[in-house]
Structure formats: C-alpha cells, structure tokens
Amino acid sequence: MTSPTTIVAKLQSNLRFKLAYIRVYHDFQQTVTEDEVKALMKTLIEAERETIGSLTRRIRQLGGAVQPESQPGQSAQELRIKASTQRTTLAKLRFLQRGATRAIEWYDEQIAALADDEETVGLLKTLQEDKRQHLQQLEAMIAGLGG
C-alpha cells in the first residue's frame, strides 16, 4: 500500500502546479489582445480554482499541510519563467496545450501508481477529466486562431 506521505507529496506537487498555472493564465489574460482568449483564460482560472478545494481537502485528510501560495516550489517557478517567454497568442496557447497534455500523462501515471487508494484515484480521475476539457478548449481556440 502506498504511504500517506507519498500520496500527500504527489498531491502537494499537483497543487503547486495548479497555483502556478492560475498565475500563468492570469499573466496571459493580461497580455493577450483577443477577447475570446481573455475569456478562455478567465474560464481556466475559475476551473482550476474550483478543483483546488477538493485537492486541499484530500491533502488534509491524509495529514498533509497545504503550502501557502507564496511558496510555489522550484518547478512551479520555472513554469512561470518559461511561460513568460511566450510572445505571441498562439505561442502562449501552444505552451498551455503542451502543459495540459503533460498533466494528463502525469495523472495517468499517478492513477496507476496509487491504484490501492480508491479515494485519491477518484480525485485524480476527476482532475484528469477537467484537464482533458481544458485541452479541448485550448485546441479549439488554437484552431480558431488559425494555428
């Protein structure tokens, strides 16, 4: 059986990335000119915020602590730095598309690794489905902008 400490560490990592992506979406929302892209960024921010509650609840149920937003972690900081180098709207959207694809793959790995914890697996499947919907929205926007 997977230890609660291991599960908490994985969920905390996911939480840090969700918080970092909220900041990236906000940054992109401020820098793009297309209204439909601004609206998509707002939608993605709201969707990520909605999932944070269930994620933090599970972390606490397992005895873990929730890090404050001001401590995003090294990988999340690197994500924001990479995001800031994206200059065009299509580059920004493709960056988010790659991130969503990687997140879906990460969820697959964690679902397999944590198969003995049904509650966490259920949460991860829900989060993965949300990310799939984000990916579809991003792909539709990229296609709509001629990318």
- Render pLDDT for 124-133 as a digit per residue (tens, 0 to 9): 999 999 999 9
Tokens of 118: 């049904």
The predicted model gives 81-104 an average pLDDT of 95
Q: Which amino acid is at 141?
A: M
pLDDT confidence of 1, banded at 50, 70, 90?
confident
- Indicate whether 107 pLDDT > 60: yes
Q: What does the buried/exposed string (b/e) look like for 2-17 if buried means 16 or more CB atoms within 10 Å of the residue's CB? A: eeeeebbebbbebbbb
Q: What mean pLDDT, rounded, does the chain reach?
A: 93
pLDDT confidence of 63, banded at 50, 70, 90?
very high
Predicted confidence at residue 72, as pLDDT, reads 54
The predicted model gives 37-56 an average pLDDT of 96
- Kindly report the three-state secondary structure assignment for every residue of 12-49: HHHHHHHHHHHHHHHHHHHHCCCHHHHHHHHHHHHHHH
| Cβ-proximal residues to 27 (8 Å cutoff; 6+ apart), any chain | 80, 83, 84
Spatial distance between the Cα atoms of 26 and 142, rounded to a whole number of angstroms: 18
Predicted confidence at residue 88, as pLDDT, reads 96
Spatial distance between the Cα atoms of 110 and 125, rounded to a whole number of angstroms: 10
Predicted confidence at residue 77, as pLDDT, reads 78
Q: What is the pTM of this model?
A: 0.91
Q: What is the pLDDT of residues 21-31, one digit of tens each?
A: 999 999 999 99
- Indicate whether 109 pLDDT > 80: yes
